[in-house]
Each structure stands twice: as C-alpha cells, then as structure tokens.
Amino acid sequence: MKKIIITGGAGFIGSHVVRRFVKTYPQYQIINLDKLTYAGNLANLKDIENEPNYRFVKGDIVDLAYINNLFEQEQPDAVIHLAAESHVDRSITNPLEFVMTNVVGTVNLLNAAKNIWKGNYEGKRFYHVSTDEVYGTLGETDMFTETTAYDPHSPYSASKASSDHFVRAYHDTYGLPAVISNCSNNYGSFHFPEKLIPLAINNIKQQKPVPVYGKGENVRDWLWVEDHARAIDVIFHKAAIGTTYNIGGHNEWKNIDLIKLLCTILDKKLGREEGESAKLITYVTDRAGHDLRYAIDATKLKAELGWEPSITFEEGLEKTVDWYLANEGWLNDVTSGHYQEYYSEQYNNR
C-alpha cells in the first residue's frame, strides 16, 4: 500500500492519525485532505509538515467535481476518512451542514474511490472513522457492541449513522473494500476548546464559569486520542474487509465527576487553594435530546487484533492538562475570531 488520502487530517483526531502514519510509515505517501473549517488547523501538524512523505491539499469533500478530479490525479490506494462536522451542539443549530459534510461528503469519497478502483480492489482500502453516538443511549449497565442496533438522537449522530450505512452499502453493493470503526469520546492535545474537556481546562485556567449541562449526570466513555490513532493504525492494517470494530477505553465518567477531577488537577497545577476552581462550576440548561450514557464494549478489538488502551484516564488527563498549560499560543490562536462569537452565543446568553 503506497498512497493514502487521510481526510480531516487538520482536525483533532485526524492530526494525530496523520502524525502517526507519517512517522511510522516512511514508505507511505500521506495526503492530508482538509477544508480547514473552524475546526481544522495546520498548526496541529507543524512538527511533520516538512516530512518528505507528507502533503497537504486544501479541499472540500462536498465538492464532487473536485474530489473526482483529485482521486483521478492522485490514484490513492487507500482512504482514511475522518473529515466531518463533529460538534453535537452545532448540529442542533445547523443540521443541514452536517448532512452535507458527513453524508454527501462521505458518499462523494465512496464514489470517487469506486470510480478509480473500478472493481480492482487488490491492496485497496476505504476506512471510515465513526462514533459510538450512532448507537443512541444506554441504561445503567449495558454496553454498545458492534451488533447494537443504530438509534441516533442528534443531527450529528444521525448524519454519522447515515454515513456508516452508506459505507456498508458500498461494500455490500459494489464490493468496495471498506472497514468502519466506532469510537467513544476522545480527549488529548489539539482538541478544539468547544468540547467538554478543553473548554473546561481553558475556563478553569481563566477563572471563567465552567458550564455543565443539566445536573452533570450524563456518562461518557473517554479514550486518549493517541490510543484511538493507534487503534486506527491496527484496524487499517489488520481488519478483514467489511468488518466493524468498536474502540473504547472502558472508562466511564459522569460529566460532573470529570469536571471536578479537572478542577482538582488544576488547583494543584495553578497553585490554587483546594476547592477554588470547583466554585466555577455552573449548571446550564440541558442539551436537547441529550443521550444519558455511552459505554463501549471493545472486546472484539482486543480479542481479534490485540489492541487495548496504553494509559489510564488519570495519566491521560494529566498529560492533557499539561499540554494545554504549555501551549497557550495554540489555545489563544484557536480561541480568537469566530470562536469568540460562537462562545458568546452558546454560553454568555444563558
């Protein structure tokens, strides 16, 4: 396998996947295809931008003519597809953009791959990166497996569920060599600070209110982003065509407990009195259609491909906090301009 197009490589998870592939596989040519929306940032890849096996191309996966042309020119052997609109709150305000990028954009990529591979699928692969949110919400003890029925509730998860269905349909109908993974919530470096963990770190640092939806009872299963990138590497290389794997860290946290843990870590690191940061916690009106609990059963991935998380949540969270404290410049850059408008709409008007 020689040439791989990674879509969404300037985003949070995509940048970790691009870095891992560029560094681990010098024999591969990695093309990072990204539109550079508010969530895409080439500063996430500064350390590898001059590597000889890496190239960035700016483009929109919704633009069918552009995508067809790019695939014709580049003749990639594989696609790892991460480009997406990814923020649930934004999907509630602007669902159509999620349909365009996540559904139409995915179908455009599937078509472009099908057109150039022309049924000759030897050594070819289309890897679709998806989310556990497609499965809906859980009770107190059950877990999502690869056979859990889809039951999405937000426009974001509905668009990702739809894209998963199209990927399977292209495999079943045209034999396209597709694999899918559905992962739980990620955290780590380069995470855009509209999402819970980086938003909380940033606000605690700046002594701003830390918004928590409802009573903070919602449970999420957190995975360190570099462990997700490693799982994608393993699945990309080892999974059989047409398979799906769930990826997760067996690491469930109620939102409120997670925020309190972050407050404790930051009290220590910032030399504040114990309990000082927790005073910033502010409960806000719950998100509409908010799923109560997500939890991934990643047994299949461990049993069949030998992957498991490399670090504990406490270790990962500590690394993440340290990264945000050491990378103020990155944080200041991404929280200027449009971020300010978004932030004031979301949080200041409540």
What residue is closest to ligand NAD based on CB?
11
Reduced 3-state DSSP string for the chain? CCEEEEECCCCHHHHHHHHHHHHHCCCCEEEEEECCCCCCCHHHHHHHCCCCCEEEEECCCCCHHHHHHHHHHHCCCEEEECCCCCCHHHHHHCHHHHHHHHHHHHHHHHHHHHHHHCCCCCCCEEEEEEEHHHHCCCCCCCCECCCCCCCCCCHHHHHHHHHHHHHHHHHHHHCCCEEEEEECEEECCCCCCCCHHHHHHHHHHCCCCEEEECCCCCEEEEEEHHHHHHHHHHHHHHCCCCCEEEECCCCEEEHHHHHHHHHHHHHHHCCCCCCCHHHHEEEECCCCCCCCECCECCHHHHHHHCCCCCCCHHHHHHHHHHHHHHCHHHHHHHCCCHHHHHHHHHHHCC
> From the list 4, 5, 6, 12, which residue makes contact with ligand NAD (rule: CB under 6 A)?
12
The answer to the question of residue 61 lying near ligand NAD (CB under 6 A) is yes
What residues from 167 to 226 belong to the interface with ligand NAD (CB under 6 A)?
A: 183, 185-186, 192
Nearer to ligand NAD, 124 or 160 (CB): 160
Nearer to ligand NAD, 117 or 187 (CB): 187
Of 4-12, 46-54, 70-78, 262-270, the segment contacting ligand NAD by CB under 6 A is: 4-12
* Distance, CA of 86 to CA of 202 (rounded, Å): 20
Binding mask 19-58 for ligand NAD (x = CB under 6 A): ---------------xxxx-xx------------------
* Distance, CA of 48 to CA of 56 (rounded, Å): 11
> From the list 29, 86, 148, 189, which residue makes contact with ligand NAD (rule: CB under 6 A)?
86
Of 80-88, 199-207, 268-276, 314-322, the segment contacting ligand NAD by CB under 6 A is: 80-88
**Contact predicate 75/67, CB 8 Å:** no
Encoding tokens for residue 309? Answer: 């998380």
The answer to the question of residue 320 lying near ligand NAD (CB under 6 A) is no
Min CB(247)–ligand NAD separation in Å: 8
Min CB(212)–ligand NAD separation in Å: 18
The answer to the question of residue 231 lying near ligand NAD (CB under 6 A) is no
What residues from 113 to 152 belong to the interface with ligand NAD (CB under 6 A)?
A: 129-131
The answer to the question of residue 8 lying near ligand NAD (CB under 6 A) is yes
Nearer to ligand NAD, 7 or 203 (CB): 7
> From the list 29, 91, 101, 108, which residue makes contact with ligand NAD (rule: CB under 6 A)?
101
The answer to the question of residue 239 lying near ligand NAD (CB under 6 A) is no
Q: How many residues bind ligand NAD (CB under 6 A)?
A: 31
Min CB(272)–ligand NAD separation in Å: 29
Min CB(111)–ligand NAD separation in Å: 15
Interface residue list for ligand NAD (CB under 6 A) = 7-8, 10-14, 34-37, 39-40, 60-62, 82-86, 101, 105, 129-131, 160, 183, 185-186, 192
